[in-house]
Structures are given as structure tokens and as C-alpha cells.
Amino acid sequence: MQDWAGVNMVRIHLNEDCWLGINGLPALYSYATYRSAVETAVSAINAAGGIADVVLAWNAPGTTKSLGQGTMCDTSHCPAFWNSVASVFGSNRSVIFELYSEPRPDGGADNATAAACVKNGGPAGGVCASYKTTGLQQITKNLRKDGAQNVILEGGPQSEQDPYLWADYKVTDPLNDVAASWHTYPHNVCNTTSCWNSDIKPVADQVPVIVSEVGDSAHISTGCTYTYSPAVTAWTSTIDNGAITPEAFVWDPFGACDNLTTDLSTGAPTSPYGSGWKGFFASDGASP
């Protein structure tokens, strides 16, 4: 990644069962081994002058193995996960805590009810999810009580596609150190400059916005492209003071259209997607 000039933030998806060492996931990839790998990655990112954006991405309630992305933060393990992560990284200001990746309460709706779920959680079988959920407000309260000093990154409902409700349902943070997360792909609802101007810029006028996933076509069958991402970055570059920061998705070599590299050992870019992003980072690397 260092060979890609301008890369200064890396997002790390975490699995709550692997971090906590629960629900029978293989010991070889769980608990101490898993935590050590994450700590090593964060240390390498920080040593290179970068920010590590750690995010809870895989979770499940109770004894269900966290083999995928749940609807919301599960009360069973999510609070314990973040309390534990805070005990490791809570004093490191070069680590961002992205509390949950792509919440989808209320059947994936994008409305006030769903936004309230993301903030406050809800009972099992309610409108939020089939299992009991903990809202990002409680997680934030727990983190600050534990002394965590990190910037907190908070996304909205419908997989963070449009944060137009963000300001109305943002968490209350005693440190006032919360940023907004936004995910954007060509198939998402807010995928035009008019929507970005009406829905995203007002949020960026209040707090930093991290576009923690930006991508183009994800399916080889439809033809790989690099057309949507440069439209997003061209627009974000017009926002004053670097208030919107894009993170390209994803540093994988597995042959999908949104993979940035063909080889983890060399960082060789894919084409056109990886090479396009590599050029952007090189030209925009001084931006925060």
C-alpha cells in the first residue's frame, strides 16, 4: 500500500466472534491470534503515517456464528466487542472506531424509524431486527466511559447509502468527536451530483464525512469499469477543507471488479479500477 503514493487511511473489517474468541470459530484464526494480527496491521499502518479505520463488519446474535453481516449491532456481543477493542486501541488517536458497517434495520428502510433504530437499538423481533440490538448511542457512551479517545465514525440506515437524516439522529458524544460515514456505489439511491449536493454536503458542512466505501461495478459479468468512482472523487474534491474523504473498496486480489490489486505481495493494480484509484491517490495524496 505504501507503494501507492497518497494512501493514508486503511479500513479493517473485524469479526466480533473472532475478536472475542467465541462460538466455536477455529482457534487458529480467533482470539489471541486474531487480535495479534489486527494489532500488527494497525501498527504497520500507523508506522507508515496512516490512520486505521477499524469497523465491526461481521456479527451475529447468541450462539450463531458471525459468518456474515448482520442487520445491526447485536446486544449479545457488540458492546463487549467494542469494550475490548477500546482496551487495545482506545488511547490511539490514529485509530478511528467505525461502530457498524451498513446497518439495515426496518427491512432496509431509509426513514426516521430506521434512523432511530441505528441510534437507539431495539428489542428482539421489533422493527429494528429479529434479534435484540444495541444502538450506536449506547456503544458511544460505553466507549467514552472506558476512556476511549478515538474519533467515532457513525453511519445511517439502508447500508449508509444516504446520510440525509444523519444530523437529526447523530449520537451524543461528550467529546464531540463524531464523524459521518457514507457508502456509495452506482447502484445506490444517492448516486448523482444533485443528491450529493442536497444530502451529503449539508452533513459535511457540520462534521467530516468519510466515504468508507466507494466502488464501481462489482460483477465481472457486466464489465469492470472505473467511471463512478472518479465522478465521486471529482465531486468530493470541490468540498472545502477536505471535509469529505473517500476510501476505495477493496484491497483484495480475488478477481472481482471492485478489487484494487491483483497481487497482495506486490500491490499490482487491477485495470481499470485499481489503476484508476492508484492515479487518484497519487494526485490527491496531500488531502487529509
* pLDDT given for residue 222 in this prediction: 65
Structural domain count of the chain: 1
Give the pLDDT confidence score for residue 219 in this predicted structure: 59
Residue 266 lies in a domain: no
The verdict on residue 224 lying in a domain is: no
Q: What is the pLDDT along the chain (288 residues), one digit of tens a residue?
A: 888 988 999 999 999 999 999 999 888 899 999 999 999 999 999 999 999 999 999 999 999 999 999 999 999 999 999 999 999 999 999 999 999 999 999 999 999 999 999 999 999 999 999 999 999 999 999 999 999 999 999 999 999 999 999 999 999 999 999 999 999 999 999 999 999 999 999 999 999 999 999 999 765 566 789 999 999 999 999 987 778 999 999 999 998 888 999 999 999 999 999 999 999 999 875 444
Residue 274 phi/psi, 5° resolution? -65, -45
Residues in CB range of 59: below 8 A, 6 or more apart: 15, 16, 17, 66, 69, 70, 73, 74, 77, 78, 81
Which DSSP symbol is given to 77? T
In a domain, 150, yes or no: yes
Closest CA relative to residue 50, chosen from 86, 7, 90 = 7
pTM here is 0.95
Instruction: Give the range of the structural domain holding residue 53, as residue numbers without chain letter.
Output: 9-195+208-216
pLDDT score of 223: 73
Is residue 238 domain-resident? no
Angle subtended by helix axes 273-284 and 228-236, to nearest 10: 10
**d(Cα 84, Cα 60) in Å, to the nearest integer?**
17
Q: What is the pLDDT of residue 256?
A: 85
Residue 280 domain-assigned?
Answer: no
Q: Is residue 94 part of a domain?
A: yes
Torsional class of 287: left (φ above 0), alpha (ψ -120 to 50), beta (otherwise) = beta
Domain of 25: which CATH number?
3.20.20.80
What pLDDT score does 285 carry? 54
Residue 249 phi/psi, 5° resolution?
A: -115, 120
Residue 61, amino acid: P
Question: Is 87 in contact with 148 (CB distance < 8 Å)?
Answer: no
Q: Which residues are paired to 124 by β-bridges? A: 129
Q: How far is CA 61 from CA 16, 35, 138, in A?
A: 10, 21, 17
**How far is residue 24's CA from residue 40's CA, in Å, rounded to a whole number?**
24
Is residue 233, in this structure, part of any structural domain at all?
A: no
**Separation CA 250–CA 258 (nearest Å):** 6
Q: Residue 84 carries which side chain, given as an amino acid letter?
A: S
